[in-house]
Structure 1
Amino acid sequence: MKTSSTILGIVGAAAAGALLGVLFAPDKGSNTRKKIKDKSKDYGDNLKGKVDGVMSKLSASGHDIIEEGKAKFNQVKEEFNAAKDEAKNTVNTVKTNY
């Protein structure tokens, strides 16, 4: 999660810098408020896009891990059944010979 914290820190710092720049710019109050509103929306949309991208990657990774786990489970299950069958055959062979 360090990457997401870094991204959020950078986006937050950029938003704070933009806000301070707009606040200290010599402009009419209504224009300044409109600029703040517009920039906030832009940063919010940008952040939402980044979060959605991270969540999508995590979801895909999770799906891949689950599929790999299922494949490993099935492989172990098959190996266990083969070993169990071999043990039964060995027991039957021993019973037959004695």
Structure 2
Amino acid sequence: MSIGKVVLGTMAGLTIGAIGGILFAPKKGSKTRKDIMHKGDGYWHKLKTEKAKKSAEKEVEKAKGKYDDAKKEVKNMATEIKHSAS
């Protein structure tokens, strides 16, 4: 069995166990549903934040690459100008 399948199975089991524990907890149903919604909103916000962070990091890396390319180009042009002026 691959690592991915083990991780997926573990995550599914944990999720099902957590949901079952919440649903059978000795709380009023409306309170339990409110708690579930609150936790779901928290996870959703965290997921969106992580996705935005990764996207921003990717864009920063692209910008760094473009900056480095432009810097090299300017150095090459400066060298050419120096040689042509000599």
Q: CA RMSD in A?
A: 1.5
Extract unaligned runs of 5+ from structure 1. Answer: 1-30, 93-98
Aligned residues: 61
Instruction: Kindly provide the amino acid, as one letter, of the partner of residue 51 in structure 1.
Output: H
Structure-2-length-normalised TM-score: 0.67
Shift of 1:34: 1.5
The higher radius of gyration belongs to 1
**1:79 and 2:73 are equivalent in the alignment:** yes
Matches within 5 A, 1:41-52: 41-52=35-46
Runs of 4+ displaced beyond 3 Å: none
Extract unaligned runs of 5+ from structure 2. Answer: 1-25
**Higher relative contact order structure (alpha carbons within 8 Å, sequence separation ≥ 6):** 1
Structure-1-length-normalised TM-score: 0.59
